[in-house]
Structure 1
Amino acid sequence: MSLVFYTNPMSRGRIVRWMLEEVGEPYDTIVLDYGDAMKSPSYLAINPMGKVPTLVHGDAVVTETGAICAYLADAFPVADLAPRDSERAAYHRWMYFAAGPVEAATSNRSLGVEPDEQQSGMLGYGSFDLTYQTLLFALADNPFICGERFTAADVYFGSEVMFGLQFKSLQEHPLLCAYRDRLTERSAYQRASVLDDAALAGDS
């Protein structure tokens, strides 16, 4: 089955590009401009949100970046990026933590939204400081989020960390910086960055 990847290099599609390079299967890339292309009837028929990334694998359509990473890990087990039995709890715990509390906390911080104590009790992430300390907790004992081995959860969780450090929504900390450095050394990450940077420059 063919893999078709809808993206924009200035989006979370960079995460999925990295995951696709980790998987190592051939795929076609369709770069969509913000605006009319993402809101066209043909694209909305695939992703009604009118956002990227979207992955089409044969007849299957997958949206939401974390879900795409997890789907690819399951769909291509030869890449060995899905969790083993002993890793499954940590894999799901931290993947969803990144997609929920980390995404919400850093987005609100970037927008200048600071909930008061009463509002914090209503939010899934509680407070930014609590979310940040939990990030550090997750990385305190192991080089990767599930332990000693890199998995698809590191693509998603790690991207949230890297974006946060890059755009200053997360304060630098030795644990976060060391984790980022381990991830950016991966050849798949580097290949994905070259491809996305070329697309951003209009070279592909």
Structure 2
Amino acid sequence: MAEELVLYTNPMSRGRIATWMLEEVGVPYRAEYLAFGEPMKSPAYLKVNPMGKVPAIRHGDAIVTECAAICAYLADAFPTAGLAPARDRRGDYYRWLFFAAGPLEMSVTNHSLGFEAPPERLGMVGCGTYGDVMGTLEKAVSTGPYIAGERFTAADVYVGAHISWGLQFGSIENRPAFVDYWNRLKDRPAHLRATELDDAQMARMQNG
């Protein structure tokens, strides 16, 4: 019997990334939707994620949190989906997956909060400046159809979600390279299914 795959999420969170990734993988899973606040801080859920945040997945006895880790785990756990390059060709795949989890998310968050490190302390900031990150990301999405080469991978799910949200909410600069990259991803059937699922659940939660 296949191990049960459970997604813990909220449709108004980064859990939308995990939903998209699961739809790309194309295997059966069960979604447990948690409201913000007390449900995410319950003793039962804190055993899944001590941070009391979503998303998280449970696959048999394995528990994985953090969106980039979830994407990488699912690509490896279900190799027939073809969402990870061959092991000897994963340099760009790992590089950009974790660039988005580290420098990109950190710089976008700091910029949105109006935080800029003083020049004399910039060396303490691992992501460098917001401008550095935007320029690096622009080059990355301009070198090929996908972030790690000619094939769509789990890294595109993660990087693409960041760019989509950033363009929507203005936290990522509206550069043509970002728009073109997102246009190559946004109509993927798995992304459309995931969006429909999360939007429907969001409406149910809002309507009580």
Residue type matched to 2:16 in 1?
Answer: R
- The match for 1:21 is 23
CA contact (8 A) 1:87 1:147 kept: no
- Please give the alpha-carbon distance, in whole angstroms, between the structure 1 residues aligned to 2:78 and 2:104: 27
- Please give the alpha-carbon distance, in whole angstroms, between the structure 2 residues aligned to 1:120 and 1:55: 36
- The match for 1:37 is 39
Structure 2 runs not aligned, ≥5 long: none
What are the equivalent positions in structure 2 for 1:156-171 lying under 5 Å apart? 156-171=158-173
- Please give the alpha-carbon distance, in whole angstroms, between the structure 1 residues aligned to 2:106 and 2:87: 29
Paired residue total: 204
- Do the aligned partners of residues 163 and 119 (structure 1) sit closer, same or farther apart at CA in structure 2, a change above 3 Å counting? farther
What are the equivalent positions in structure 2 for 1:119-198 lying under 5 Å apart? 119-198=121-200
Residue 8 (str. 1) matches residue 31 (str. 2): no
- With 141-150 and 113-122 compared, the bigger mean Cα shift is at 113-122
CA contact (8 A) 1:87 1:146 kept: no
- Please give the alpha-carbon distance, in whole angstroms, between the structure 2 residues aligned to 1:142 and 1:87: 15
SS in 1 for 2:191: helix
Residue deviations 1:84-133 (CA, integer Å, cap 9, x gap) = 24530000110110000000000111111111212321111110000000
- The match for 2:58 is 56
- Please give the alpha-carbon distance, in whole angstroms, between the structure 2 residues aligned to 1:163 and 1:87: 28
- Please give the alpha-carbon distance, in whole angstroms, between the structure 2 residues aligned to 1:59 and 1:186: 31
- The match for 1:117 is 119
- Please give the alpha-carbon distance, in whole angstroms, between the structure 1 residues aligned to 2:24 and 2:204: 24
- Please give the alpha-carbon distance, in whole angstroms, between the structure 1 residues aligned to 2:186 and 2:22: 15
SS in 2 for 1:38: helix
- The match for 1:200 is 202
Displacement of 1:139 in angstroms is: 1.4
Displacement of 1:166 in angstroms is: 1.0
List structure 1 segments (4+ residues) > 4 angstroms apart after TM superposition.
Answer: none
- Do the aligned partners of residues 49 and 36 (structure 1) sit closer, same or farther apart at CA in structure 2, a change above 3 Å counting? same
- The match for 1:95 is 97
CA contact (8 A) 1:106 1:169 kept: yes
SS in 1 for 2:64: strand
What are the equivalent positions in structure 2 for 1:57-96 lying under 5 Å apart? 57-85=59-87, 87-96=89-98
- Please give the alpha-carbon distance, in whole angstroms, between the structure 2 residues aligned to 1:78 and 1:158: 22
Identity %: 54
- Please give the alpha-carbon distance, in whole angstroms, between the structure 1 residues aligned to 2:171 and 2:124: 22
Residue type matched to 2:5 in 1?
Answer: L
- With 82-91 and 17-26 compared, the bigger mean Cα shift is at 82-91
Displacement of 1:65 in angstroms is: 0.4
- Please give the alpha-carbon distance, in whole angstroms, between the structure 1 residues aligned to 2:47 and 2:87: 37
